[in-house]
């Protein structure tokens, strides 16, 4: 099923539109950088323009779009790292207080002066656990993720794939309610990307947290997600949405040869290249 966002949704910042079941809801999100980065020129300063979408609990949503279209900005708004100029963002959480967010960056964003284990431990501690719990939980996670041998190595001593796994372990460490992933495999070579991609899929199959996954790789988006959102060039708008009904569990690479994959990949590609015009149902 495909749906096009040919008409703009009206300004609705007076009411909260969050469906009770949604894990993440974004309403009329607009981010313009002029207010935040003074030296940017006024023109083209709108990074995200009136974007609305929901993510259901356990759903894996991929956002694709040309580079610089504001995909990452949406994630930053979801993680509360930037304040929206307009609209609202809601991330559900069971406990009181802030939602817990597992953010995975394209760069691994591991603290280079801490060993792999200490990096994971820090995440557990920041989630409010006492030190001894943090150490036990971090060691357990590292072992579970097959990183037992790398505990006492510094990020600089690990390969790109291992670092990525450590940053996944860190994201898992504070039991997040949602995962936000910003082109997490962008810096990996093709083979490692397949391995880490499968590793990731495996984790999400078991954990069933909601995921928002930003990428510019259409194949990756279709292979991993339940739904693909397509964004236009800057200023970023949502121009199309596709449901991915491929069976799970999936394999990061082999899924590309499953019936229906190529069709989906084609329509997403078309939506992306035509900027959302002439998009028909799948």
Partner 1 sequence: MSIRSDSAALPLTQKSTSDPIKSRRLSRRRLQKGLLSTALFVVVVAAWEATSRYWIDPLWISSPRLVAERLWTGMSDGSLALNTWITVQEALIGLIIGTLAGVIAGLLLARVKPVAELLDPYILGAYSLPRIALAPFFVLWLGIGLASKVVLVVSVVFFVVLFNVRQGIETVDSDLTDAMKSMGANQWEITRQVVIPTVAPWIVSAVKIGVGMALVSAVVGEMVGSTGGLGWYVTRSLNQFDMTGGVTALLVMAAIAMLLYYFLAAFERRLFAWRGDGHSGTAPM
Q: How far is the CB of 137 from partner 1 (least distance, A)?
A: 14
HEC assignment per residue over the chain: CEEECCCCCCCCCCCCCCCCCCCEEEEEEEEEHHHCCCCCCCCCCEEEEEEEEEECCCCEEEEECCCCCCHHHHHHHHCCCCCCCEEEEEECCCCCCCCCEEEECCCCCCCCCCCHHHHHHHHHHHCCCCHHHHHHHHHHHHHHCCCHHHCCCCHHHCCHHHHHHHHHHHHHHCCCCEEEEECCCCCCCHHHHHHHHHHHHHHHHHHCCEEEEEECCHHHHHHHCCEEEEECCCCECEEEEEECCCCCCCCCCHHHHCCCHHHHHHHHHHHHHHCCCCCCCC
- Scanning 8-16, 144-152, 221-229, 272-280 for contacts with partner 1 by CB under 8 A, the matching segment is 144-152
Of 71 and 174, CB closest to partner 1: 174
Of 208 and 277, CB closest to partner 1: 208
Asked whether position 139 contacts partner 1 by CB under 8 A, the answer is no
Q: Are 230 and 268 in contact (CB under 8 A)?
A: yes
What spatial distance separates the first Cα and last Cα of the chain, rounded to whole Å?
Answer: 5
Interacting residues with partner 1 between 184 and 213 (CB under 8 A):
194-196, 198-199, 201-202
Asked whether position 53 contacts partner 1 by CB under 8 A, the answer is no
Asked whether position 95 contacts partner 1 by CB under 8 A, the answer is no
Asked whether position 58 contacts partner 1 by CB under 8 A, the answer is no
Identify the residue among 146, 208, 243, 266 touching partner 1 (CB under 8 A).
Answer: 146
Asked whether position 91 contacts partner 1 by CB under 8 A, the answer is no
In terms of DSSP bridges, do strands 227-231 and 238-243 run parallel, antiparallel, or are they unpaired? antiparallel
Q: How far is the CB of 123 from partner 1 (least distance, A)?
A: 5
Q: How far is the CB of 14 from partner 1 (least distance, A)?
A: 29
Q: Which residues contact 171 (CB under 8 A, 6 or more apart)?
A: 102, 103, 104, 123, 179
Asked whether position 88 contacts partner 1 by CB under 8 A, the answer is no
Of 47 and 238, CB closest to partner 1: 47
- Scanning 1-9, 53-61, 113-121, 268-276 for contacts with partner 1 by CB under 8 A, the matching segment is 113-121
- Measured CA to CA, the distance from residue 62 to residue 190 in angstroms comes to 19
Asked whether position 149 contacts partner 1 by CB under 8 A, the answer is yes
Q: How far is the CB of 176 from partner 1 (least distance, A)?
A: 9
Binding track over 11-50 against partner 1, x by CB under 8 A: ----------------------------------------
Q: How far is the CB of 194 from partner 1 (least distance, A)?
A: 7
Identify the residue among 135, 251, 260, 269 touching partner 1 (CB under 8 A).
Answer: 251
- Scanning 20-28, 118-126, 212-220, 224-232 for contacts with partner 1 by CB under 8 A, the matching segment is 118-126
Q: How far is the CB of 15 from partner 1 (least distance, A)?
A: 28
């Amino acid at each position: 099923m495909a749906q096009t966002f040919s008409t703009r949704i009206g300004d609705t910042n007076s009411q909260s539109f969050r469906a009770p079941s949604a894990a993440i809801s974004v309403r009329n999100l607009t981010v313009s950088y002029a207010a935040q980065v003074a030296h940017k020129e006024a023109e083209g300063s709108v990074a995200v323009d009136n974007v609305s979408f929901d993510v259901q609990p356990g759903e894996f949503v991929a956002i694709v779009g040309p580079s610089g279209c504001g995909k990452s900005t949406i994630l930053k708004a979801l993680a509360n790292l930037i304040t929206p100029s307009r609209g609202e963002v809601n991330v559900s959480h069971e406990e009181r207080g802030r939602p817990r967010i597992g953010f995975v960056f394209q760069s691994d964003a591991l603290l280079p002066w801490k060993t792999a284990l200490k990096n994971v431990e820090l995440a557990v501690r920041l989630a409010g656990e006492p030190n001894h719990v943090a150490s036990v939980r971090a060691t357990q996670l590292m072992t579970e993720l097959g990183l037992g041998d790398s505990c006492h190595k510094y990020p600089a001593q690990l390969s790109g794939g291992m670092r990525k796994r450590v940053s996944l372990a860190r994201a898992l460490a504070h039991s997040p309610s949602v995962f936000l992933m910003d082109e997490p495999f962008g810096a990996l070579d093709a083979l490692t990307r397949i391995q880490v991609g499968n590793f990731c899929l495996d984790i999400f199959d078991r954990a069933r947290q909601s995921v928002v996954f930003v990428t510019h790789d259409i194949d990756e988006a279709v292979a991993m997600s339940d739904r693909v959102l397509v964004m236009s060039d800057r200023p970023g708008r949502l121009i199309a949405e596709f449901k991915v009904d491929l069976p799970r569990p999936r394999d990061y690479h082999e899924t590309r040869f499953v019936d229906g994959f190529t069709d989906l990949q084609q329509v997403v590609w078309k939506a992306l290249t035509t900027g959302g015009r002439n998009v028909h149902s799948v």
